[in-house]
Structure 1
Amino acid sequence: MTAPVRNAGLPAPVRGVLTHPIVRFLARRLLYSLVVLFGVLILVFALVQLVPGDPVRIALGTRYTPEAYNALRAASGLDRPLLEQFFGYAGSAVRGDLGVSFRNGDPVTQILMERLPATVSLAVFGILIALLIAIPAGIYSALHEGKVSDAIIRVASQFGVSVPDFWMGILLIALFSTTLGWLPTSGYRPLFDDPGGWLRHVILPGLTVGFVAGAIMTRYVRSAVLEVSGMTYVRTARSKGLAPRIVTMRHIVRNALVPVLTITGIQLATILSGVIVVEVVFAWPGLGRLVFNAVAARDYPVIQGAVLLIAVLFLLVNLVVDLLYAVIDPRIRLS
């Protein structure tokens, strides 16, 4: 007896879409992401409950009055039973309502959306700088293993990994702003309102982020290229008399991109989560500086919302990286 075909009652085109590997992969990843987000939601909700003392009283500080205290406690839903608070917060978060700020009463979602473009623009600029540094430097270092140029690149990458972000930023400010006067020391201009102003302001924080990320990624690129260079198919390609450039680009670099893509996704997600020190040094109004100020002001709804947004960004970046695996190397199956 033949087993019933799943989704047999659906039209053939619909069945084809539902059974496509990418669609099935996206469905599994979506389910996984929802589970992760639910766990993050529990953690950020517990943040307020685990804070010693009354978070509303702490947040108000010298602004405390009985009227302000009761109004803020009611607006935050902290006057309700614990279980009701959690489900109320979870339901509101699903609708995009993350509460109101303890500090100024503005909606947390609005605050986060105002800061997100600055963080995204800095992250994209910084990761492009990192790739422009890491890919050529890592490939060149691996192809010249043991030579002086390889040693120089390795020492430079180790220096970049060891240097603190704030010190790198201060050095760039001292050189390009204080000494040469080419670039502003701090501030931000929206990309679409003032592209030229945005570029002038993003260069120094972008270089700071890019140099540090590029140093980390250079080591991964070098290791990946060295590993692929020792594979049997690379030696076979060389023994056939193929030009070194063809062997490098077709057989080495392409196959080394998979681990490079992994570290690129990690670095991009790290920058998107908010490079706090860099944003504070350059007065960059991104998520990192927002979290820094929220922690200082004990603005727990903003901290909760920022953590949730950062978790979503991490999951999105990981999803895109997983999809790109199959684009770069067709032998990789989405699972």
Structure 2
Amino acid sequence: MVTAPIVLFGVILLVFLIVDLSPNDPARASLGLFASEEARERFAAANGLDDPVWVRFWRFIVNLLHLDLGSSVVRPEPVAHLIGAAFPVTLQLMLLATVIAVFLSLLLGVLAAQTDGRLVDRTIGGLAALFQAAPPFWVGLMFIQLFAVALGVLPSGGYFPIGDGVRYWFSSIIGPATVLALPFTAAMTRIVRASVADELAKDYVRTAKGAGIPWSTIMVRNVLRNSLISPVTVLGLYIGGLMSGAIVVESVFNLPGMGTLLVSGADQGDLGVVRGVAIVSAFVFVLVNLVVDLFYILLNPRAAEAGAE
């Protein structure tokens, strides 16, 4: 947790340098491909693009501390406003995908561990390997083909704000969230299965069963509590990875989220938008991992005490 500000600053520096030193020309993106050299030079001078890189970085940091991410060179809007409109869509998508993934991975992981080596266990393991390896864009297209084209139960794309009605919002977000959750679910299922199976093999479980303690009590109070420590340690990484997966899923389902904003910004050479989306995504990643670390300490206080020593 102490290193989080250092990591965030390093990411901001890296993102700034990669975007700032890229071959894309903000002047061409703003003025058009056929802008004269004189017009491009005037644009560069007016926007400080001719300043040394350290001056540009310092100016960017000062603006960032004031929550100013600059303005889009393609659209007459501040980058913060564009991100403010797109971020809630991606946040809803990620939250719903996380709920689906956590619920399914716990259910399937525990079921696989309890049927160790049998058909159910092998089937769950095979499906987990399949969905973990399947490209998200292909899964999204197959999902649309099945549920939108063949069955007609869900829309093929688009987004309805929750203010337009929970039913319409849910129908527009459940498909993308499910597709986004599938590789996350597959990876977490395998981790949960291994952790629960390892816990079930311990002596205290056999002792508790021999003492006549109900199996549900053993699972909830002991096995699940102890076996969840390992999955929680990687939970933050997987949730952070949802942001990158959202880029593909939002493009497939035509959702107006951060992924779509990033792709459009890259296509149009709008470097301010690309930089803003990348930095906000990095901040969310660090914040999620901080929350997961706190949750891990609640689950395993002894680890926190050992770290303090």
After TM superposition, the score normalised by the length of structure 2 is: 0.91
Closer, same or farther: CA 274–111 of 1 in aligned 2, 3 Å: farther
In 2: Cα distance, 1:130 partner to 1:90 partner: 36
Q: 1:319 aligns with which of 283, 290, 294?
A: 290
In 2: Cα distance, 1:329 partner to 1:76 partner: 51
The aligned runs of 1:75-86 (5 Å cut-off) are 76-86=47-57
- Residue type of the partner of 2:232? L
Q: Secondary structure at the match of 1:280?
A: helix
In 2: Cα distance, 1:233 partner to 1:180 partner: 49
- 1:214-268 Cα shifts (integer Å, max 9, x gaps): 1121111101111222334334333433232222222111111122223332222
- Aligned-pair RMSD on alpha carbons? 2.2
Closer, same or farther: CA 296–109 of 1 in aligned 2, 3 Å: same
> 1:196: which partner in 2?
167
- The answer (yes or no) to whether the contact 1:119–1:274 under 8 Å persists in 2 is no
Closer, same or farther: CA 237–95 of 1 in aligned 2, 3 Å: same
After TM superposition, the score normalised by the length of structure 1 is: 0.84
Q: 2:261 aligns with which of 271, 285, 290?
A: 290
Closer, same or farther: CA 238–74 of 1 in aligned 2, 3 Å: farther
- Residue type of the partner of 2:99? L
- Residue type of the partner of 1:186? G
Q: How far does residue 58 in structure 1 lie from its aligned partner after superposition?
A: 5.9
In 2: Cα distance, 1:295 partner to 1:165 partner: 20
Q: Secondary structure at the match of 2:228?
A: helix
In 2: Cα distance, 1:98 partner to 1:212 partner: 32
Does 2:214 align with 1:277?
no
In 1: Cα distance, 2:209 partner to 2:18 partner: 58
- The answer (yes or no) to whether the contact 2:132–2:186 under 8 Å persists in 1 is yes
Q: 1:129 aligns with which of 100, 104, 111?
A: 100
In 1: Cα distance, 2:79 partner to 2:134 partner: 34
> 1:62: which partner in 2?
33
| Identity between Structure 1 and Structure 2 (%) | 35
- The answer (yes or no) to whether the contact 1:274–1:287 under 8 Å persists in 2 is no
Q: 2:150 aligns with which of 157, 179, 193?
A: 179
The aligned runs of 1:5-24 (5 Å cut-off) are none
> 1:119: which partner in 2?
90
- The answer (yes or no) to whether the contact 1:274–1:289 under 8 Å persists in 2 is no
> 1:227: which partner in 2?
198
- The answer (yes or no) to whether the contact 1:169–1:278 under 8 Å persists in 2 is yes
Closer, same or farther: CA 74–193 of 1 in aligned 2, 3 Å: farther
In 2: Cα distance, 1:44 partner to 1:59 partner: 21
Closer, same or farther: CA 75–121 of 1 in aligned 2, 3 Å: farther
Q: Secondary structure at the match of 1:275?
A: helix
Structure 2: 5+ residue runs without aligned partners? none
Q: 1:263 aligns with which of 234, 243, 262?
A: 234
In 2: Cα distance, 1:322 partner to 1:191 partner: 31
Q: Secondary structure at the match of 1:187?
A: coil
Q: How far does residue 127 in structure 1 lie from its aligned partner after superposition?
A: 1.2
In 1: Cα distance, 2:54 partner to 2:187 partner: 44
The number of aligned residues is 306
Does 2:89 align with 1:89?
no
- Bigger shift: 63-72 or 241-250? 63-72
Q: How far does residue 92 in structure 1 lie from its aligned partner after superposition?
A: 0.5
In 1: Cα distance, 2:285 partner to 2:46 partner: 30
Q: How far does residue 63 in structure 1 lie from its aligned partner after superposition?
A: 5.6
In 1: Cα distance, 2:38 partner to 2:89 partner: 36
Does 2:132 align with 1:161?
yes
- Bigger shift: 53-62 or 118-127? 53-62
Q: How far does residue 55 in structure 1 lie from its aligned partner after superposition?
A: 4.5
Q: Secondary structure at the match of 1:331?
A: helix
Q: Which has the higher contact order (CA 8 A, sep 6+)?
A: 2
> 1:73: which partner in 2?
44
> 1:305: which partner in 2?
276
- The answer (yes or no) to whether the contact 2:15–2:275 under 8 Å persists in 1 is yes
> 1:217: which partner in 2?
188
- The answer (yes or no) to whether the contact 2:8–2:286 under 8 Å persists in 1 is no
> 1:18: which partner in 2?
none
- The answer (yes or no) to whether the contact 1:220–1:263 under 8 Å persists in 2 is no
Q: Which protein is bigger by CA-based radius of gyration?
A: 1
